[in-house]
Each structure stands twice: as structure tokens, then as C-alpha cells.
Amino acid sequence: MIMGIISRHLTIDMYGCSSESLNTMENIKEAMLAAIAESNMTLLNFTDHQFEPKGLSALALLAEGHMSVHTFPDKGYAAIDVFNYSDTIHLEQACKVLKRFLKPEKTKITNIKRGDFGSVSDMKPKIKFSSTPIRRVRDTSAKVFKFLSRSK
């Protein structure tokens, strides 16, 4: 059974944003709502929290996934996630809109394909275990014991 990609998850790191743009809830909310509208997503619920002395978190629950923004005004940094599982969404457009509002000097976007397991056997966790370090300790201990026994 082949699974395939279930959804896309963009992590967007924006650096060099103005402190004011990152610490103004109205600006962040307007940016998120514009990004949602222009990328063809459907808003179900919006919640936010302003931290003291600076910073905020905002979360949009979408019919197609979610969008979150966490800001660090003192560092000029915004951490943004956009998760969606619909083929009709334009995630690149959401990024463009958010950049238009936050005006970062530098942006790093990571596109994660979620649910891309290939086959059911790929879904099993892979655990690597090596007994070499344990064997080395045991062998070294035996050599030390043998050496100490001989010196009497």
C-alpha cells in the first residue's frame, strides 16, 4: 500500500523585521487574514496573545489546516508555520503576503511533505543500536584485569 503525501507544512523564518511590525497585534492579524484570503484558505477561528514586555503569538484554525505566527521583536524575528492538506491552496502566495506585511531582510522557507511514508513498512520507526562501545569497555576491562593479574 502506497501512502503518498497527505499535506504540506511550510516553516517560514523571517529575519530583520521591524520591532514595531512584530509587536503590533493588529498588523500580524491583518497580515494573517490577508494571507489566508489571498491563498484561498478558509478561516474557522482566530486566537492570539500579546506577551509582556514584547512579542506575540497568533493562531488561525483553517478548514484546510492552520497558520501560526510567533514574534520576537527584540530579535527582529518571526517564526511562522502554515500547514495545509488541500490541493487548492496557494502556500507560496501566503508567504508573499506575509513578507509584504512584515518586510523581512531575509527569509528562510522550509517545505515539509507530511505523510510521505511511501509504504506501510516505511511507517515503522527505525532504531539504530550499536554494541561496539559496550564491547570496547568489556574488552578493555579484561585487558586491564589480565595486566594487573600478571604483575603480582
Task: For 90-130, write each residue's pLDDT tens digit.
Answer: 888 999 999 999 999 999 999 888 777 665 555 565 666 66
Task: For 54-101, write each residue's pLDDT tens digit.
Answer: 999 999 999 999 999 999 999 999 999 999 988 788 888 999 999 999
pTM of the model: 0.73
- Asked if residue 80 is part of any domain, the answer here is yes
Which of 43, 44, 68, 73 lies closest to 57, judged by CA? Answer: 68
CATH value at residue 105 = 3.60.90.10
- Asked if residue 139 is part of any domain, the answer here is no
Cβ neighbour number for residue 8 with a 10 Å cutoff:
20
Please give the residue range of the domain that contains residue 118. 7-123
- Asked if residue 78 is part of any domain, the answer here is yes
Structurally, the chain folds into a number of domains equal to 1
